Amino acid sequence: MITLSPEDVKLRFGPLFAQKFLVMVDERAGTAEILEQCRVRGTIEWDAMNRRRAGGAVSRCEVEGTSMTIRARLGNYPVNFGSAAGDIGGQALEAVEVSGDEVITTWAGIAGAGVGVAACLPQAPGVIRTEYPSEDDLKVGGARTNHVRIISPRYEKVCIGIDDTDTKTEGATWVMALKCAEACRIEGVEFLNMRLVQLNPAVPEKTTNCVSSALNFAARPGRIPLLLESVRLFVEKNTFSRDTGIACYHGLGDFSGVPVARQVKTEIMTRDQAEREAEALGIEFLDRNNGKGRIGALGAVVWGNRGTEAAGLYGEHL
């Protein structure tokens, strides 16, 4: 076994193109989410198609710009390059395993895809070290097959929903949410993205658009309490409303099929309903107002990882 740091890899192969590597795990659900960023979109698209085709630990891949998000199963799984093994190369995620406060992802690549897993990805910011089973795995390119184990810090995902921070004369929740994300810069916490979630525009008590906001973070497990408290303090200090709601979910749960996902966009819900639904889904409220903003905050968490359809009316798609 040969172990190299990202800097060692860079010295050996020269600077390449990976710009981020981050793995979030949810051991309760047996799943992981891997975020990769590259300098260009083409390599990300090619990697995503090849990894999905090869199976292994991969459940699904999504591409957004020059970033790829992989949803994977924890454990070790056989891969199948199929015709790619003989004709066009291939790339696969074989395993995702948790070891204390680290995550080990095991990769295989053929031909040019082997350069990706053996030379490019191991030098990405976020990688701690990479293990190569043999010297042959350090020979990249051509028709070779490469195997590597990439070790990175263990992160967990936190989605925070915020709603009702404005009034008819002051404020905008999406502005508050983005300012909150910028203010809560904490070592061991990565801000991932923010989404605007369109709720039911027919509700009588609203400002204008009836839109809540979701903030997604990757956090080292020991930093999650500080993150949640920092968000709560910022929002409560800067809100213009007495009905502000703040909800959070810690994990990689999939809320796409739950009834409340439809209800927050099509029905007029009560705060009591929202609180019951949140409890059933393992979503907690951070605010101390107990106000109607909890309805929209719940909606933000439920839709916070659903892509562009979160921003539309129920049933709308691009």
Q: What is the DSSP code string of 136-154?
A: GGG--STT-EEEEEEEEEE
Clarify whether residues 177 and 240 are in a common domain.
yes
pLDDT (tens digit per residue) in 168-194 = 767 788 999 999 999 999 999 999 999
Clarify whether residues 180 and 117 are in a common domain.
no
237: part of which helix (H) or strand (E)?
Answer: helix 224-238
Cβ atoms of 188 and 223 within 8 Å: the answer is yes
32: how many CB neighbours lie within 10 A of its CB? 28
Look at the chain and report how many structural domains it folds into: 2
Clarify whether residues 71 and 210 are in a common domain.
no
* Residue 159 domain flag: no
Residue 167 pLDDT > 50, yes or no? yes
Q: At what angle do helices 259-266 and 293-303 cross, to 10 degrees?
A: 130
* Residue 317 domain flag: no
* Residue 316 domain flag: no
What is the average per-residue pLDDT within 243-257?
Answer: 93
Clarify whether residues 97 and 213 are in a common domain.
no
Cβ atoms of 65 and 41 within 8 Å: the answer is yes
How far apart CA 209 and CA 186 sit, in angstroms, is 32
The residue among 145, 36, 141 whose CA lies nearest residue 85 is 145
* Residue 275 domain flag: yes
Clarify whether residues 185 and 304 are in a common domain.
yes
* Residue 133 domain flag: yes
Clarify whether residues 210 and 69 are in a common domain.
no
Q: What is the mean pLDDT of the chain?
A: 91
Cα first-last separation, the chain = 48
Clarify whether residues 133 and 93 are in a common domain.
yes
* Residue 63 domain flag: yes
pLDDT (tens digit per residue) in 271-310 = 999 999 999 999 999 999 888 899 999 999 999 999 899 9
Q: Which domain holds residue 118?
A: 2-154
Residue 84 pLDDT > 90, yes or no? no
288: how many CB neighbours lie within 10 A of its CB? 10
Q: 206: pLDDT confidence band, cut at 50, 70 and 90?
A: low
Residue 2 pLDDT > 70, yes or no? yes
What is the average per-residue pLDDT within 146-157?
Answer: 96
How far apart CA 191 and CA 194 sit, in angstroms, is 9
- Give the per-residue pLDDT at 85: 47
Of the residues 123, 154, 185, the one at which a domain ends: 154
Question: Of 118 and 7, which is predicted with more confidence?
Answer: 7
pLDDT (tens digit per residue) in 8-33 = 999 999 999 999 999 999 999 999 99
Of the residues 93, 126, 154, the one at which a domain ends: 154
Clarify whether residues 116 and 25 are in a common domain.
yes
Of the residues 106, 126, 154, the one at which a domain ends: 154
Q: DSSP secondary structure string, 258-308?
A: -HHHHHHHHS---HHHHHHHHHHHT-EE--SS--THHHHHHHHHHHTTSGG
Q: Which two tokens stand for residue 129?
A: 């070290």
* Residue 149 domain flag: yes
How far apart CA 135 and CA 168 sit, in angstroms, is 66
- Give the per-residue pLDDT at 149: 97
* Residue 173 domain flag: yes
- Give the per-residue pLDDT at 296: 94
Clarify whether residues 175 and 142 are in a common domain.
no
Mode of pairing for the β-strands spanning 18-26 and 145-163? parallel
- Give the per-residue pLDDT at 121: 95
Question: Of 318 and 120, which is predicted with more confidence?
Answer: 120
Percent of the chain with pLDDT over 90: 74
Clarify whether residues 143 and 250 are in a common domain.
no
Q: 203: pLDDT confidence band, cut at 50, 70 and 90?
A: confident
Question: Of 115 and 112, which is predicted with more confidence?
Answer: 115
